[in-house]
Amino acid sequence: MTTKIMAKRAPGLTLLQKGNPSSRYSLYGLVFFRSQFCSFAVNRCPTVSVKETIDLEDLVKTRCKSGNLGLDEALGHFDSVIQMKPIPSIWAINHLFGALSKMNQCSTVVSMYKQMLACVGLHPEVHTLSVVINCLCRMNRVDLGFSVLATILKHGLQPNAYTLNALLHGVCKYRSLSEAMELLQKIEEKGLACCEMTYATIINGLCRAGKTCMALEILEQMYEDGRFKPDPQCYNPIIDRLCKERRTDEALTLFRDMINKNVAPDIVSYTSLIYGLCNMGLWTRALALFEMMNKKGRKPDVVTFNSIISAACKSGKWEEAVRLFRNMIDCGA
């Protein structure tokens, strides 16, 4: 399905090509960290009842979902989990990793993972390893992300769409587009898990590189293939890029095509177009789209208001600019 680009093969891609994890990638060296932390969880493990273990799992889950978990609290819960006997399920760790990842505490997640490897009874599963891969890629350590992928494959686990999307995003951002295209091709050839976000990621990478035509080809191929229906995240990078290239008529055509195919534009779709129209001095068309956005129940944000208010001022529409400004204040944007 993918548009092919010739590229020098990235070392990590051989994992998917051969289906055999390379020993070159060993996640910072499992043996080293096992020896460093082996006594941490073994020598200080309070023995508790099964009920207390379950209570700790529930507490961790509740706190992680609360939205106000602090770093020190998360570290404290992690210490409790890895020291407890019987040891809680891996889902307690998964909740902590997920919460810390959302807090952009990527290095903390990786450090915790190294400690966790030494804990008897804690066996990472795909979700655990996927969060670690995501964090490593966000730290610009895509090579180590492939190392964790090797661990997944070595243990006979199946990487999921989240796993591969994290790697694909990291390759797009920190390596090269050609490597990302090759990785996508391998994912497709192996029939590995992917989703709309997989293609949205590669479309975004193509648009950032100025390859709008190739991004449109991927979008069209998604419809031809029929496995995944494009969502707004697949359209938005193309619309945004077309607007930045001052190709607003093409962007509007794609926007209409999106609606005709029952893909509901989101705030990003509208804002990109409004910005593009304003940038071209097309105030009337921008205002009409802004009003359409409101009628469709898409609440404009501060970026949307800034674009339309700025265009109103440049067009000498002072009363309209004041009205829009007051509207922005009333909406709490």
Kindly report, residue by residue over 113-134, the tens digit of the pLDDT. Answer: 999 888 877 888 999 999 999 9
Q: Residue 246 carries which side chain, given as an amino acid letter?
A: R
38-71: per-residue pLDDT in tens? 333 334 456 777 788 888 889 999 999 998 999 9
For position 63, which CATH number holds?
Answer: 1.25.40
**pLDDT score recorded for residue 314:** 84
Residue 13 pLDDT grade (very low, low, confident, very high; cuts 50, 70, 90)? low
User: C-alpha angle with apex 112: 163 to 152, nearest 5 degrees?
Assistant: 30
In a domain, 52, yes or no: yes
215-236: per-residue pLDDT in tens? 999 999 999 988 899 999 999 9
For the chain, give the percent of residues with pLDDT over 90: 56
In a domain, 328, yes or no: no
CA distance 35 to 42: 12
- CA dihedral of 4, 263, 205, 95, whole degrees rounded to 10: -120
In a domain, 233, yes or no: no
Question: Taking a C-beta distance cutoff of 8 angstroms, is the pair 218, 2 a contact?
Answer: yes
In a domain, 78, yes or no: yes
**More confident call, 266 vs 330:** 266
Q: What is the DSSP letter of 85?
A: B
Residues 6+ apart with CB under 8 A from 155: none
Check pLDDT > 50 for residue 210.
yes
**pLDDT score recorded for residue 93:** 94
In a domain, 86, yes or no: yes
Q: CA gyration radius for the chain?
A: 24
**Structural domain range at position 101:** 1-194
CA distance 265 to 281: 23
pTM here is 0.77
For all residues of the chain together, what is the average pLDDT? 85
**pLDDT score recorded for residue 39:** 33
Residue 36 pLDDT grade (very low, low, confident, very high; cuts 50, 70, 90)? very low
In a domain, 84, yes or no: yes
Question: Taking a C-beta distance cutoff of 8 angstroms, is the pair 138, 3 a contact?
Answer: no
In a domain, 146, yes or no: yes
CA distance 236 to 255: 9
What is the total count of domains within the chain? 1
**pLDDT score recorded for residue 51:** 82
In a domain, 123, yes or no: yes
Average pLDDT estimate for 123-146:
94
For residue 250, give Cα distances in angstroms to 153, 195, 283: 43, 26, 18
Residue among 180, 183, 263 at smallest CA distance from 222? 263
Neighbours of 213 (CB within 10 A): 10
